[in-house]
Amino acid sequence: MEAVVTPITPELESFSPLDGARLGAVETIRPDAVKSVVDDVASVQPFWAQLPLSDRARYMRRAGQAIIDQLEDLAQLLSREQGKPINESYVMELLPTIDSLRWLAEAGPGILEDERVPLPIFIKQKRARFTFEPLGVVGVIAPWNYPWSIPFGEVAIALMAGNGVVLKPASLTPLIGQRIQEVFERAGVPEGLVRTVHGGGGVGQALVESSAAKIFFTGSVEVGRRVGEECARRLKGSVLELGGKDPMVVCEDANMHNAISGCLWGGFANAGQTCSGIERVYVVREVADGFVEGVVEAARALRVGDPLDYETEIGPMVSREQFELVRELVDDAVANGATLHCGGPVDVGAHPGGNFFAPAVLTGVTHDMRIMREEIFGPVVPIVTVDSEDEAIALANDSEFGLGASVWTMNRAKGERIAERIQSGMVWVNDHMFSHGACSCSWGGVKESGLGRSHSKFGLWECVNIKLVTWEPSRTRDFWWHPYDDSLGKAMSASARLLYGRDADKPAALRRGLIPLVKVGGKTLRDVFKH
């Protein structure tokens, strides 16, 4: 008798960045099997698309409650798998997604309902409207730095717009990614409407190349450019969020206490592993010394340690590779003349294997250094003293990236003027990056920070086909139809002046165009009398 061989399902294991402990595993999928997953979701999606917007909104509310029902468990998993302090798991990931679901339920139906289109006066008898039709299946390729809030928001927006979703979580954080699908299943969405596929880059590539109608990708510029190219080759859309090098501009009249506190949070939250984290600071000379002193003193006081400890403010970096990249950039800056005031690799007694990097503050940096050109993605804040706000703006714009930026001043008008001059998708005055937690606000950048927008009404519109539908009562014929004669051109010439021209020219235009206008009107009404 032959032995029965049970096939072994390939697994992707997840390990804690704190101590390397194995947290669990998920089943992976072969790249050549991704197409069938997308096809399966596509077979379920038409039913979902036919639901009234109010019904889809109800599922969004139920998903919010599903998160609340397992809130503590999700927070623990987020911190264990990604390494962010547990307070940040609540504040920066979980609570914003609950609120996003509420906003989608309340605002989504109004944004996605048919919109009447006003028409020019000479075709007022017609009716036109925009309809917002689901695309079909949307693919979401998620990052590891915010493995819950970034993909969850994109999945929720795609669902609210009537699509099915295939989600590929980051390989470093597969467990929390899988829970996104489970939340929507708990909320009662049709089985198979949201599917998760795990694996390496080949799985992501297969999702891009599949029949998914649009891809939301968050990650590096290099990979994102390839995603955009592959989507363009297939004549389908993509939304690309490719990171940033966010500047902070500190004016002389800034509230210095808030600017220092904002710099710490914007630069060091999530151990600096934030696409829109503060990676460059430009402070005017008059207040530079006090600002640097305050930032250094406060950075030294931040507590590095176990992310599950509620008093921890800086957890371990997500991987050794990311840790080494940050150390390399800091060492390169110091070797080229920068001053490191505090921070760097540090041992945490109870967890000697953790990738801990204490908050670092640098001065004496220049734009020739790698640390001012490349994305750091770690708890490092380089500070540059400038002679004027104009110099700060010029340096802020001297980057290939353009995701977000912040301006710190007590003068609102000045802050908004500076904001207009900064090349980025978002500018916050006296704050930084908070709006990612407000789904009503758009998110996305310019230059190499990507294309398209997520969140807000623009994010919803990324997930639909905008179709124009018109209605003609068919009681008359259009005046521009055949047959042509000289009355049509003369009537149009007169109409242009009568409808849109100077008031002084209108009497003469009416005299010249009256007979042609009557003839055109008669031609339009001719068929009415035939009936």
Instruction: Kindly report whether the peptide bond that precedes residue 169 is cis, defined as omega within 30 degrees of 0.
Output: no
The HSE-up count of residue 463 (CA atoms within 13 Å, CB side) is 28
Asked if 439 is an active-site residue, the reply is no
Which residues lie below 8 Å from residue 15, measured CB to CB, with a gap of 6+?
21, 22, 23
Strand partners, 390: none
The first and second tokens of residue 336, run together, are 């080229």
Report whether 367 contacts 323 (CB < 8 A): no
Give catalytic status of residue 374 as yes or no: no
Token digits of residue 219: 């990650």
Number of Cβ within 10 Å of residue 118's Cβ equals 7
Alpha-carbon distances of 506 from 213, 387, 500, rounded to whole Å: 51, 58, 9
Residue 138 has φ and ψ, to the nearest 5°, of -110, 135
Amino acid at 115: E
The catalytically annotated residue of 241, 375, 389, 448 is 241
- Positive or negative, the CA dihedral 168, 170, 172, 174 is negative
User: Residue 308's closest CA among 16, 457, 112, 85?
Assistant: 85
The H-assigned helical ranges of 172-251 are 174-186, 201-209, 221-233
Nearest partner of 241 among 156, 147, 314, 142, judged by Cα? 142
Of 275, 375, 448, 463, the active-site residue reads 275
Which residues make Cβ contacts (< 8 Å) with residue 376, sequence separation at least 6? 272, 279, 326, 329
CA distance 489 to 502: 20
How many Cα atoms sit within 13 Å of 443 on the Cβ side? 29
The helix/strand/coil state of 276 is: coil
Q: How far, in Å, CA of 355 to CA of 327, rounded?
A: 11
Token readout for 424 is: 């980025």
Task: Kindly provide the residue ranges of all beta strands, DSSP E only, lying in 242-297, ordered along the sequence.
Answer: 246-250, 278-284
Phi/psi of residue 330, nearest 5 degrees: -65, -45
Strand partners, 13: 25
Please name the residue that has the structure tokens 């049709």: 190
- Report the amino acid identity of residue 477: R
Vertex 319 angle, CA 313 and 320, to 5°: 110
Give the residue numbers annotated as catalytic, written as ranges.
Answer: 241, 275
